[in-house]
Structure 1
Amino acid sequence: MEYQFSNAVLNTRSQSFEVDGKKAVLEDRTFKLLAYLIDTHPKVCSQEELVAYLWPDSVVSPWSLPRLISDTRSLLRRLGVKQDVIFTVRGQGYKFNPEVTILSANDTAQLELAILRAEQRSDGAHLKFWIGVTLLMCCVCIWLVVNHGFDHEQNMSFKASEPVDAKGRILWVDDNPKNNAKEQGYFLKKKIGVYNTTSTQEALLLLSMYEYTVVISDMGREGEPLAGLKLLRAMRAVGNNTPFYVYTWVDSDQQTEVILSAGGQGVATKKRELYNYVLLHFSDEKM
Protein backbone atom coordinates (compact mmCIF):
# COMPACT_ATOMS: atom_id res chain seq x y z
CA MET A 1 0.00 0.00 0.00
CA GLU A 2 1.36 3.44 -0.96
CA TYR A 3 0.12 6.52 0.92
CA GLN A 4 0.76 10.18 0.10
CA PHE A 5 0.36 12.92 2.69
CA SER A 6 1.71 16.47 2.75
CA ASN A 7 4.93 16.28 0.67
CA ALA A 8 5.75 12.71 1.69
CA VAL A 9 5.01 9.15 0.48
CA LEU A 10 5.02 6.03 2.64
CA ASN A 11 4.96 2.58 1.02
CA THR A 12 4.10 -0.32 3.34
CA ARG A 13 4.95 -2.98 0.74
CA SER A 14 8.49 -1.81 0.02
CA GLN A 15 8.93 -0.41 3.57
CA SER A 16 10.09 2.87 2.05
CA PHE A 17 9.58 6.55 2.89
CA GLU A 18 10.17 9.59 0.68
CA VAL A 19 10.00 13.36 1.21
CA ASP A 20 9.85 15.52 -1.92
CA GLY A 21 10.93 12.49 -3.93
CA LYS A 22 14.01 11.84 -1.81
CA LYS A 23 14.26 8.56 0.10
CA ALA A 24 14.67 8.71 3.85
CA VAL A 25 15.41 5.97 6.38
CA LEU A 26 13.01 5.37 9.26
CA GLU A 27 13.58 3.03 12.19
CA ASP A 28 11.30 0.01 12.20
CA ARG A 29 9.13 1.14 15.14
CA THR A 30 8.82 4.67 13.72
CA PHE A 31 7.72 3.22 10.37
CA LYS A 32 5.19 0.93 12.08
CA LEU A 33 3.79 3.85 14.10
CA LEU A 34 3.22 5.98 10.99
CA ALA A 35 1.77 3.08 9.00
CA TYR A 36 -0.65 2.17 11.78
CA LEU A 37 -1.85 5.75 12.30
CA ILE A 38 -2.32 6.17 8.56
CA ASP A 39 -4.11 2.85 8.21
CA THR A 40 -6.56 3.74 11.02
CA HIS A 41 -6.98 7.39 9.91
CA PRO A 42 -9.10 9.32 10.91
CA LYS A 43 -9.64 7.22 14.06
CA VAL A 44 -8.09 8.31 17.36
CA CYS A 45 -5.82 5.52 18.62
CA SER A 46 -5.54 5.10 22.38
CA GLN A 47 -2.17 4.84 24.10
CA GLU A 48 -2.89 1.27 25.18
CA GLU A 49 -3.77 0.27 21.61
CA LEU A 50 -0.54 1.73 20.19
CA VAL A 51 1.64 0.23 22.93
CA ALA A 52 0.10 -3.21 22.39
CA TYR A 53 0.80 -2.93 18.65
CA LEU A 54 4.30 -1.46 18.81
CA TRP A 55 5.61 -3.45 21.80
CA PRO A 56 3.75 -6.77 21.66
CA ASP A 57 4.31 -9.12 24.60
CA SER A 58 6.56 -6.54 26.27
CA VAL A 59 6.47 -4.39 29.38
CA VAL A 60 7.57 -0.84 28.63
CA SER A 61 7.80 2.45 30.49
CA PRO A 62 4.70 4.72 30.44
CA TRP A 63 6.92 7.24 28.69
CA SER A 64 7.99 4.95 25.83
CA LEU A 65 5.13 5.88 23.52
CA PRO A 66 5.19 9.66 24.19
CA ARG A 67 8.96 9.62 23.61
CA LEU A 68 8.51 7.74 20.33
CA ILE A 69 5.81 10.21 19.24
CA SER A 70 8.04 13.17 20.10
CA ASP A 71 11.09 11.68 18.33
CA THR A 72 9.00 10.90 15.24
CA ARG A 73 7.66 14.45 15.05
CA SER A 74 11.17 15.88 15.35
CA LEU A 75 12.54 13.50 12.72
CA LEU A 76 9.81 14.33 10.20
CA ARG A 77 10.42 18.06 10.67
CA ARG A 78 14.15 17.54 10.05
CA LEU A 79 13.39 15.52 6.93
CA GLY A 80 11.32 18.42 5.57
CA VAL A 81 7.73 17.17 5.98
CA LYS A 82 5.69 20.38 5.76
CA GLN A 83 2.77 19.45 8.03
CA ASP A 84 2.46 18.28 11.60
CA VAL A 85 1.71 14.61 11.09
CA ILE A 86 0.70 13.25 14.50
CA PHE A 87 -2.04 15.07 16.39
CA THR A 88 -2.59 14.61 20.13
CA VAL A 89 -6.24 14.29 21.20
CA ARG A 90 -6.22 15.19 24.87
CA GLY A 91 -7.49 12.41 27.10
CA GLN A 92 -7.97 10.01 24.17
CA GLY A 93 -4.75 9.33 22.31
CA TYR A 94 -3.25 10.14 18.92
CA LYS A 95 -4.45 10.42 15.33
CA PHE A 96 -2.90 11.05 11.94
CA ASN A 97 -3.38 14.71 11.04
CA PRO A 98 -2.97 15.34 7.25
CA GLU A 99 -5.30 14.16 4.52
CA VAL A 100 -4.13 10.85 3.05
CA THR A 101 -4.24 9.78 -0.60
CA ILE A 102 -3.80 6.13 -1.58
CA LEU A 103 -1.56 6.02 -4.65
CA SER A 104 -1.70 2.24 -5.09
CA ALA A 105 -3.97 -0.20 -3.31
CA ASN A 106 -6.03 -3.29 -3.80
CA ASP A 107 -9.65 -3.02 -4.91
CA THR A 108 -11.06 -3.43 -1.41
CA ALA A 109 -9.06 -0.54 0.01
CA GLN A 110 -9.97 1.70 -2.93
CA LEU A 111 -13.63 0.85 -2.48
CA GLU A 112 -13.53 1.61 1.25
CA LEU A 113 -11.81 4.96 0.62
CA ALA A 114 -14.34 5.89 -2.09
CA ILE A 115 -17.24 4.99 0.19
CA LEU A 116 -15.83 7.04 3.05
CA ARG A 117 -15.34 10.10 0.86
CA ALA A 118 -18.76 9.76 -0.74
CA GLU A 119 -20.42 9.45 2.65
CA GLN A 120 -18.65 12.55 3.92
CA ARG A 121 -19.67 14.61 0.86
CA SER A 122 -23.25 13.53 0.35
CA ASP A 123 -26.47 13.76 2.33
CA GLY A 124 -28.60 12.07 -0.31
CA ALA A 125 -30.72 9.18 0.94
CA HIS A 126 -30.20 7.19 -2.27
CA LEU A 127 -26.41 7.35 -2.03
CA LYS A 128 -26.46 6.53 1.69
CA PHE A 129 -28.58 3.45 0.97
CA TRP A 130 -26.07 2.06 -1.49
CA ILE A 131 -23.18 3.01 0.78
CA GLY A 132 -24.84 1.03 3.55
CA VAL A 133 -25.34 -1.99 1.30
CA THR A 134 -21.73 -1.87 0.13
CA LEU A 135 -20.39 -1.49 3.66
CA LEU A 136 -22.47 -4.45 4.80
CA MET A 137 -21.01 -6.61 2.03
CA CYS A 138 -17.48 -5.50 2.93
CA CYS A 139 -18.05 -6.27 6.60
CA VAL A 140 -19.33 -9.76 5.76
CA CYS A 141 -16.26 -10.44 3.61
CA ILE A 142 -13.87 -9.13 6.28
CA TRP A 143 -15.62 -11.19 8.96
CA LEU A 144 -15.25 -14.35 6.89
CA VAL A 145 -11.56 -13.68 6.21
CA VAL A 146 -10.74 -12.85 9.84
CA ASN A 147 -12.59 -15.83 11.26
CA HIS A 148 -11.10 -18.21 8.72
CA GLY A 149 -7.60 -16.94 9.51
CA PHE A 150 -8.18 -17.13 13.23
CA ASP A 151 -9.52 -20.70 13.04
CA HIS A 152 -6.51 -21.70 11.00
CA GLU A 153 -4.12 -20.10 13.48
CA GLN A 154 -5.73 -21.13 16.75
CA ASN A 155 -7.66 -24.23 15.66
CA MET A 156 -10.72 -22.83 17.47
CA SER A 157 -13.25 -20.03 17.15
CA PHE A 158 -13.95 -17.28 19.61
CA LYS A 159 -17.55 -17.19 18.43
CA ALA A 160 -18.27 -20.03 20.88
CA SER A 161 -16.30 -18.70 23.83
CA GLU A 162 -17.27 -21.46 26.26
CA PRO A 163 -16.38 -25.12 25.64
CA VAL A 164 -19.15 -27.64 26.19
CA ASP A 165 -17.31 -29.09 29.21
CA ALA A 166 -16.08 -25.74 30.56
CA LYS A 167 -14.54 -25.79 34.04
CA GLY A 168 -15.49 -22.20 34.75
CA ARG A 169 -15.91 -18.75 33.25
CA ILE A 170 -13.79 -15.64 32.87
CA LEU A 171 -15.43 -12.25 32.38
CA TRP A 172 -12.89 -10.17 30.45
CA VAL A 173 -13.44 -6.40 30.44
CA ASP A 174 -11.39 -4.55 27.80
CA ASP A 175 -12.33 -2.01 25.14
CA ASN A 176 -9.87 -3.72 22.74
CA PRO A 177 -10.60 -7.47 23.11
CA LYS A 178 -8.43 -8.35 20.11
CA ASN A 179 -5.36 -7.33 22.13
CA ASN A 180 -5.95 -10.36 24.36
CA ALA A 181 -6.58 -12.96 21.65
CA LYS A 182 -3.55 -15.12 22.53
CA GLU A 183 -4.31 -15.09 26.23
CA GLN A 184 -7.97 -15.95 25.66
CA GLY A 185 -6.94 -18.76 23.32
CA TYR A 186 -4.76 -20.19 26.09
CA PHE A 187 -7.67 -20.27 28.55
CA LEU A 188 -10.01 -21.79 25.99
CA LYS A 189 -7.52 -24.59 25.42
CA LYS A 190 -7.67 -25.18 29.17
CA LYS A 191 -11.46 -25.55 28.76
CA ILE A 192 -12.16 -22.28 30.57
CA GLY A 193 -14.95 -20.16 29.09
CA VAL A 194 -14.13 -16.55 28.15
CA TYR A 195 -16.74 -13.80 27.84
CA ASN A 196 -15.79 -10.37 26.52
CA THR A 197 -17.35 -7.03 27.34
CA THR A 198 -16.02 -3.54 26.66
CA SER A 199 -17.51 -1.38 29.41
CA THR A 200 -17.96 -1.22 33.18
CA GLN A 201 -21.73 -0.90 32.81
CA GLU A 202 -22.03 -4.07 30.74
CA ALA A 203 -19.70 -5.92 33.11
CA LEU A 204 -21.79 -5.03 36.17
CA LEU A 205 -24.96 -6.11 34.36
CA LEU A 206 -23.45 -9.47 33.40
CA LEU A 207 -22.15 -10.01 36.92
CA SER A 208 -25.66 -9.44 38.28
CA MET A 209 -27.08 -12.07 35.91
CA TYR A 210 -24.42 -14.81 35.74
CA GLU A 211 -21.69 -16.37 37.83
CA TYR A 212 -18.04 -16.07 36.83
CA THR A 213 -14.99 -17.72 38.33
CA VAL A 214 -12.64 -14.79 37.65
CA VAL A 215 -12.89 -11.21 36.33
CA ILE A 216 -10.00 -9.79 34.29
CA SER A 217 -10.01 -6.08 33.47
CA ASP A 218 -7.77 -3.51 31.87
CA MET A 219 -7.02 -0.45 34.00
CA GLY A 220 -7.78 2.36 31.57
CA ARG A 221 -10.32 2.43 28.75
CA GLU A 222 -12.42 4.87 26.73
CA GLY A 223 -10.52 7.88 28.11
CA GLU A 224 -10.98 6.78 31.74
CA PRO A 225 -7.55 5.94 33.25
CA LEU A 226 -8.99 4.27 36.38
CA ALA A 227 -11.87 2.34 34.80
CA GLY A 228 -10.62 -1.01 36.13
CA LEU A 229 -10.34 0.28 39.70
CA LYS A 230 -13.84 1.79 39.52
CA LEU A 231 -15.27 -1.52 38.30
CA LEU A 232 -13.59 -3.36 41.18
CA ARG A 233 -14.95 -0.90 43.74
CA ALA A 234 -18.45 -1.12 42.25
CA MET A 235 -18.34 -4.93 42.46
CA ARG A 236 -17.21 -4.96 46.07
CA ALA A 237 -19.76 -2.28 46.99
CA VAL A 238 -22.63 -4.61 46.03
CA GLY A 239 -21.06 -7.61 47.76
CA ASN A 240 -19.66 -9.31 44.64
CA ASN A 241 -16.42 -11.01 45.72
CA THR A 242 -15.49 -12.67 42.41
CA PRO A 243 -11.66 -12.82 42.17
CA PHE A 244 -10.50 -9.74 40.24
CA TYR A 245 -7.27 -9.16 38.33
CA VAL A 246 -6.04 -6.17 36.35
CA TYR A 247 -4.12 -7.03 33.17
CA THR A 248 -2.13 -4.04 31.98
CA TRP A 249 1.19 -3.08 30.42
CA VAL A 250 2.21 -0.69 33.22
CA ASP A 251 4.33 -2.35 35.94
CA SER A 252 3.79 -0.31 39.13
CA ASP A 253 3.97 -1.29 42.79
CA GLN A 254 1.59 1.56 43.64
CA GLN A 255 -0.97 0.29 41.15
CA THR A 256 -0.80 -3.19 42.66
CA GLU A 257 -1.19 -1.77 46.16
CA VAL A 258 -4.28 0.21 45.12
CA ILE A 259 -5.93 -2.85 43.54
CA LEU A 260 -5.18 -5.05 46.55
CA SER A 261 -6.48 -2.45 48.98
CA ALA A 262 -9.72 -2.17 46.97
CA GLY A 263 -10.32 -5.92 47.30
CA GLY A 264 -8.67 -7.16 44.11
CA GLN A 265 -6.39 -10.19 43.89
CA GLY A 266 -3.55 -8.80 41.80
CA VAL A 267 -2.11 -7.03 38.77
CA ALA A 268 -0.43 -8.85 35.87
CA THR A 269 1.72 -7.28 33.17
CA LYS A 270 2.85 -10.48 31.45
CA LYS A 271 0.96 -13.43 29.99
CA ARG A 272 2.63 -16.03 32.20
CA GLU A 273 1.95 -13.99 35.29
CA LEU A 274 -1.73 -13.73 34.34
CA TYR A 275 -1.95 -17.48 33.67
CA ASN A 276 -0.46 -18.27 37.07
CA TYR A 277 -2.94 -16.00 38.83
CA VAL A 278 -6.05 -17.26 37.05
CA LEU A 279 -5.21 -20.96 37.19
CA LEU A 280 -5.04 -20.71 40.99
CA HIS A 281 -8.84 -20.65 40.86
CA PHE A 282 -8.96 -23.90 38.91
CA SER A 283 -7.40 -26.39 41.31
CA ASP A 284 -6.75 -29.12 38.75
CA GLU A 285 -5.02 -26.83 36.27
CA LYS A 286 -1.30 -26.17 35.91
CA MET A 287 0.77 -24.11 33.52
Structure 2
Amino acid sequence: MSGIWWFGNVRFDESSGNLQVGSDDVELDRSCQRILGVLLANAGQGVDKDALLRAGWPGRLVHENSLAKAIGRLRIALGEHGERLGSVYGHGYKLDVSAQLVTPEREEGLLATVGAALSDTPGRRPWLAWSAGAAGMAAVGVILSSSESVAGIFGTPYRTADPIVADAPDAIGKILWVDDHPENNAFEKQYFEKRRIAVHSAANTADAIKLLAIYDYKLVISDMGRGDDRLAGLKLVEQMRQRGDATPVVIYTVRADGAKAQSAQRRLVADAGARRLAVTPQEIRSIVVGEFGNPSVR
Protein backbone atom coordinates (compact mmCIF):
# COMPACT_ATOMS: atom_id res chain seq x y z
CA MET A 1 0.00 0.00 0.00
CA SER A 2 1.43 3.36 -0.97
CA GLY A 3 0.82 6.26 1.32
CA ILE A 4 2.67 8.92 3.29
CA TRP A 5 5.68 8.04 5.44
CA TRP A 6 6.53 9.97 8.61
CA PHE A 7 9.51 9.82 10.95
CA GLY A 8 10.70 12.65 13.16
CA ASN A 9 10.11 15.84 11.18
CA VAL A 10 10.37 14.05 7.84
CA ARG A 11 7.40 13.45 5.53
CA PHE A 12 7.65 11.43 2.31
CA ASP A 13 4.71 10.98 -0.05
CA GLU A 14 5.34 7.82 -2.06
CA SER A 15 2.79 8.60 -4.76
CA SER A 16 4.16 12.05 -5.62
CA GLY A 17 7.76 11.54 -4.50
CA ASN A 18 7.53 14.73 -2.43
CA LEU A 19 9.98 14.89 0.50
CA GLN A 20 9.67 17.43 3.30
CA VAL A 21 12.22 17.87 6.07
CA GLY A 22 10.85 20.27 8.66
CA SER A 23 9.30 23.10 6.68
CA ASP A 24 11.57 22.59 3.65
CA ASP A 25 10.62 20.85 0.43
CA VAL A 26 13.57 18.75 -0.70
CA GLU A 27 13.92 17.74 -4.34
CA LEU A 28 14.69 14.07 -5.04
CA ASP A 29 15.41 12.44 -8.38
CA ARG A 30 13.22 9.50 -9.34
CA SER A 31 15.81 6.86 -8.42
CA CYS A 32 16.24 8.31 -4.93
CA GLN A 33 12.47 8.43 -4.48
CA ARG A 34 12.12 4.72 -5.27
CA ILE A 35 15.10 3.75 -3.10
CA LEU A 36 13.79 5.78 -0.16
CA GLY A 37 10.40 4.08 -0.48
CA VAL A 38 12.01 0.63 -0.23
CA LEU A 39 14.21 1.64 2.70
CA LEU A 40 11.20 3.04 4.57
CA ALA A 41 9.14 -0.08 3.88
CA ASN A 42 11.99 -2.03 5.52
CA ALA A 43 12.91 0.60 8.15
CA GLY A 44 15.29 -0.77 10.77
CA GLN A 45 16.26 -3.71 8.53
CA GLY A 46 19.03 -4.16 5.99
CA VAL A 47 18.04 -4.13 2.33
CA ASP A 48 20.45 -5.82 -0.09
CA LYS A 49 22.05 -3.85 -2.90
CA ASP A 50 20.41 -5.85 -5.68
CA ALA A 51 16.92 -5.03 -4.36
CA LEU A 52 17.78 -1.34 -4.16
CA LEU A 53 19.29 -1.36 -7.65
CA ARG A 54 16.14 -2.99 -9.05
CA ALA A 55 13.98 -0.42 -7.26
CA GLY A 56 16.03 2.59 -8.28
CA TRP A 57 16.58 1.62 -11.91
CA PRO A 58 13.88 -0.91 -12.90
CA GLY A 59 14.69 -2.93 -15.99
CA ARG A 60 18.19 -1.47 -16.30
CA LEU A 61 21.65 -2.87 -15.61
CA VAL A 62 23.35 -0.28 -13.40
CA HIS A 63 26.69 -0.41 -11.58
CA GLU A 64 26.50 -0.34 -7.80
CA ASN A 65 28.48 2.90 -7.82
CA SER A 66 25.25 4.55 -8.98
CA LEU A 67 23.55 3.16 -5.88
CA ALA A 68 26.32 4.47 -3.62
CA LYS A 69 25.94 7.94 -5.12
CA ALA A 70 22.15 7.83 -4.72
CA ILE A 71 22.58 6.84 -1.06
CA GLY A 72 24.93 9.80 -0.63
CA ARG A 73 22.31 12.14 -2.11
CA LEU A 74 19.65 10.70 0.19
CA ARG A 75 21.85 11.21 3.25
CA ILE A 76 22.20 14.87 2.38
CA ALA A 77 18.49 15.23 1.56
CA LEU A 78 17.45 13.77 4.94
CA GLY A 79 19.43 16.40 6.83
CA GLU A 80 20.11 15.48 10.45
CA HIS A 81 18.46 12.10 9.84
CA GLY A 82 20.98 11.28 7.13
CA GLU A 83 23.31 9.63 9.61
CA ARG A 84 20.58 7.01 10.21
CA LEU A 85 21.08 5.74 6.64
CA GLY A 86 24.02 3.42 7.04
CA SER A 87 25.79 0.59 5.27
CA VAL A 88 25.26 -3.03 6.28
CA TYR A 89 28.59 -4.76 5.80
CA GLY A 90 28.50 -7.29 2.97
CA HIS A 91 24.79 -6.75 2.40
CA GLY A 92 23.42 -3.34 1.52
CA TYR A 93 21.92 -0.40 3.39
CA LYS A 94 19.61 0.24 6.33
CA LEU A 95 17.52 3.27 7.32
CA ASP A 96 17.47 2.97 11.09
CA VAL A 97 14.33 4.93 11.95
CA SER A 98 10.88 4.23 13.34
CA ALA A 99 8.66 5.12 10.39
CA GLN A 100 4.88 5.18 10.14
CA LEU A 101 2.87 4.82 6.93
CA VAL A 102 -0.46 6.68 6.98
CA THR A 103 -3.25 7.31 4.51
CA PRO A 104 -3.92 10.86 3.30
CA GLU A 105 -7.15 10.84 5.33
CA ARG A 106 -5.34 9.87 8.53
CA GLU A 107 -2.73 12.55 7.94
CA GLU A 108 -5.37 15.20 7.32
CA GLY A 109 -6.97 14.42 10.69
CA LEU A 110 -3.64 14.62 12.52
CA LEU A 111 -2.73 17.91 10.88
CA ALA A 112 -6.09 19.38 11.82
CA THR A 113 -5.53 18.33 15.44
CA VAL A 114 -2.05 19.84 15.51
CA GLY A 115 -3.28 23.03 13.87
CA ALA A 116 -5.93 23.47 16.53
CA ALA A 117 -3.36 22.91 19.29
CA LEU A 118 -1.00 25.46 17.78
CA SER A 119 -3.68 28.13 17.45
CA ASP A 120 -4.99 27.54 20.99
CA THR A 121 -1.60 27.48 22.71
CA PRO A 122 -0.66 30.83 24.35
CA GLY A 123 2.09 32.60 22.48
CA ARG A 124 1.59 30.41 19.38
CA ARG A 125 -0.70 32.72 17.39
CA PRO A 126 1.99 33.48 14.77
CA TRP A 127 1.98 29.76 13.92
CA LEU A 128 -1.53 29.73 12.44
CA ALA A 129 0.06 28.83 9.11
CA TRP A 130 1.20 25.62 10.78
CA SER A 131 0.83 23.42 7.72
CA ALA A 132 3.99 24.98 6.23
CA GLY A 133 5.88 25.20 9.52
CA ALA A 134 8.50 23.03 11.18
CA ALA A 135 6.49 22.92 14.41
CA GLY A 136 3.48 21.29 12.74
CA MET A 137 5.71 18.85 10.88
CA ALA A 138 7.61 17.82 13.98
CA ALA A 139 4.46 17.48 16.04
CA VAL A 140 2.83 15.05 13.63
CA GLY A 141 6.04 13.02 13.52
CA VAL A 142 6.11 12.78 17.31
CA ILE A 143 2.44 11.77 17.49
CA LEU A 144 2.95 9.02 14.93
CA SER A 145 6.08 7.63 16.57
CA SER A 146 4.99 7.73 20.21
CA SER A 147 2.08 7.99 22.60
CA GLU A 148 2.81 11.67 23.21
CA SER A 149 -0.26 13.90 23.36
CA VAL A 150 -0.60 17.07 21.32
CA ALA A 151 -0.71 19.17 24.49
CA GLY A 152 2.52 17.63 25.77
CA ILE A 153 4.40 18.20 22.53
CA PHE A 154 4.23 21.98 22.68
CA GLY A 155 5.46 22.25 26.26
CA THR A 156 9.08 21.92 25.11
CA PRO A 157 10.77 24.07 22.46
CA TYR A 158 12.16 22.31 19.39
CA ARG A 159 15.89 22.11 18.84
CA THR A 160 17.01 24.00 15.78
CA ALA A 161 19.81 22.66 13.62
CA ASP A 162 23.17 24.37 13.49
CA PRO A 163 23.78 26.44 10.35
CA ILE A 164 25.00 24.37 7.43
CA VAL A 165 28.38 25.32 5.98
CA ALA A 166 27.88 24.97 2.24
CA ASP A 167 30.50 23.88 -0.27
CA ALA A 168 31.34 26.16 -3.17
CA PRO A 169 28.58 25.95 -5.81
CA ASP A 170 31.09 24.89 -8.49
CA ALA A 171 32.71 22.15 -6.37
CA ILE A 172 33.39 19.01 -8.42
CA GLY A 173 33.48 16.76 -5.36
CA LYS A 174 34.63 16.57 -1.77
CA ILE A 175 37.19 14.92 0.45
CA LEU A 176 37.23 14.36 4.21
CA TRP A 177 40.41 15.30 6.08
CA VAL A 178 40.72 13.79 9.56
CA ASP A 179 43.32 15.55 11.69
CA ASP A 180 43.32 16.87 15.25
CA HIS A 181 45.46 19.81 14.08
CA PRO A 182 43.70 21.01 10.91
CA GLU A 183 45.60 24.30 10.99
CA ASN A 184 48.65 22.36 9.77
CA ASN A 185 46.84 21.59 6.52
CA ALA A 186 45.70 25.12 5.67
CA PHE A 187 47.98 25.48 2.64
CA GLU A 188 46.93 22.14 1.10
CA LYS A 189 43.26 22.85 1.84
CA GLN A 190 43.54 26.14 -0.06
CA TYR A 191 45.34 24.34 -2.89
CA PHE A 192 42.46 21.86 -3.28
CA GLU A 193 39.70 24.44 -2.96
CA LYS A 194 41.27 26.51 -5.76
CA ARG A 195 40.80 23.41 -7.90
CA ARG A 196 37.11 23.17 -6.91
CA ILE A 197 37.65 20.29 -4.47
CA ALA A 198 35.67 20.83 -1.25
CA VAL A 199 37.46 19.85 1.95
CA HIS A 200 35.50 18.78 5.04
CA SER A 201 37.35 18.47 8.35
CA ALA A 202 36.99 16.12 11.32
CA ALA A 203 39.14 16.21 14.44
CA ASN A 204 38.57 12.60 15.50
CA THR A 205 37.36 9.20 14.36
CA ALA A 206 33.87 9.56 15.88
CA ASP A 207 33.16 12.75 13.92
CA ALA A 208 34.65 11.24 10.78
CA ILE A 209 32.33 8.23 10.95
CA LYS A 210 29.30 10.52 11.33
CA LEU A 211 30.30 12.64 8.34
CA LEU A 212 30.94 9.53 6.24
CA ALA A 213 27.39 8.40 7.00
CA ILE A 214 26.01 11.66 5.62
CA TYR A 215 28.24 12.69 2.72
CA ASP A 216 29.57 10.97 -0.38
CA TYR A 217 33.33 11.56 -0.27
CA LYS A 218 35.69 10.83 -3.12
CA LEU A 219 38.62 10.33 -0.75
CA VAL A 220 39.53 10.39 2.96
CA ILE A 221 42.84 11.73 4.24
CA SER A 222 43.79 10.79 7.80
CA ASP A 223 46.81 11.38 9.95
CA MET A 224 48.37 8.25 11.45
CA GLY A 225 48.27 9.28 15.10
CA ARG A 226 45.94 11.55 17.06
CA GLY A 227 46.43 12.50 20.69
CA ASP A 228 47.87 9.55 22.60
CA ASP A 229 46.77 7.03 19.98
CA ARG A 230 49.61 6.50 17.50
CA LEU A 231 47.44 4.24 15.31
CA ALA A 232 44.21 6.28 15.24
CA GLY A 233 44.25 6.61 11.46
CA LEU A 234 44.55 2.87 10.91
CA LYS A 235 41.73 2.23 13.37
CA LEU A 236 39.55 4.66 11.42
CA VAL A 237 40.17 2.68 8.22
CA GLU A 238 39.32 -0.57 10.00
CA GLN A 239 36.05 0.88 11.32
CA MET A 240 35.12 2.12 7.86
CA ARG A 241 35.71 -1.28 6.28
CA GLN A 242 33.74 -3.02 9.04
CA ARG A 243 30.80 -0.72 8.23
CA GLY A 244 31.03 -1.58 4.54
CA ASP A 245 32.43 1.82 3.60
CA ALA A 246 34.89 1.38 0.73
CA THR A 247 35.83 5.07 0.36
CA PRO A 248 39.57 5.22 -0.49
CA VAL A 249 41.77 6.36 2.40
CA VAL A 250 45.21 7.96 2.28
CA ILE A 251 47.28 7.97 5.48
CA TYR A 252 49.29 11.19 5.68
CA THR A 253 52.10 11.09 8.20
CA VAL A 254 55.83 11.60 8.68
CA ARG A 255 58.22 9.14 7.11
CA ALA A 256 59.55 6.53 9.52
CA ASP A 257 63.31 6.44 10.17
CA GLY A 258 65.23 3.74 8.32
CA ALA A 259 64.34 1.35 5.51
CA LYS A 260 63.05 -1.39 7.84
CA ALA A 261 60.72 0.99 9.70
CA GLN A 262 59.48 2.49 6.42
CA SER A 263 58.67 -0.96 5.06
CA ALA A 264 56.74 -1.82 8.23
CA GLN A 265 54.89 1.50 8.01
CA ARG A 266 53.76 0.80 4.45
CA ARG A 267 52.71 -2.75 5.37
CA LEU A 268 50.61 -1.55 8.32
CA VAL A 269 48.83 0.97 6.12
CA ALA A 270 48.09 -1.62 3.43
CA ASP A 271 46.95 -4.28 5.93
CA ALA A 272 44.48 -1.82 7.51
CA GLY A 273 42.82 -1.31 4.12
CA ALA A 274 44.12 2.15 3.23
CA ARG A 275 44.94 2.84 -0.41
CA ARG A 276 48.10 4.90 -0.06
CA LEU A 277 50.67 6.31 2.31
CA ALA A 278 51.78 9.93 1.78
CA VAL A 279 54.65 11.53 3.67
CA THR A 280 55.11 14.90 1.92
CA PRO A 281 52.80 17.78 0.93
CA GLN A 282 53.74 17.18 -2.70
CA GLU A 283 52.58 13.57 -2.48
CA ILE A 284 49.24 14.39 -0.87
CA ARG A 285 48.52 17.10 -3.45
CA SER A 286 49.39 14.77 -6.31
CA ILE A 287 47.21 11.95 -4.98
CA VAL A 288 44.16 14.12 -4.40
CA VAL A 289 44.17 16.07 -7.67
CA GLY A 290 44.88 12.83 -9.53
CA GLU A 291 41.77 11.30 -7.96
CA PHE A 292 39.74 14.16 -9.46
CA GLY A 293 41.36 14.04 -12.89
CA ASN A 294 43.80 16.93 -12.34
CA PRO A 295 41.24 19.77 -12.38
CA SER A 296 42.29 23.23 -13.43
CA VAL A 297 42.54 26.19 -11.07
CA ARG A 298 39.29 28.23 -10.92
Q: TM-score range by the shorter chain?
A: 0.3 to 0.5
Question: What is the TM-score of this pair, normalised by structure 2?
Answer: 0.41
Q: TM-score, normalised by structure 1?
A: 0.43
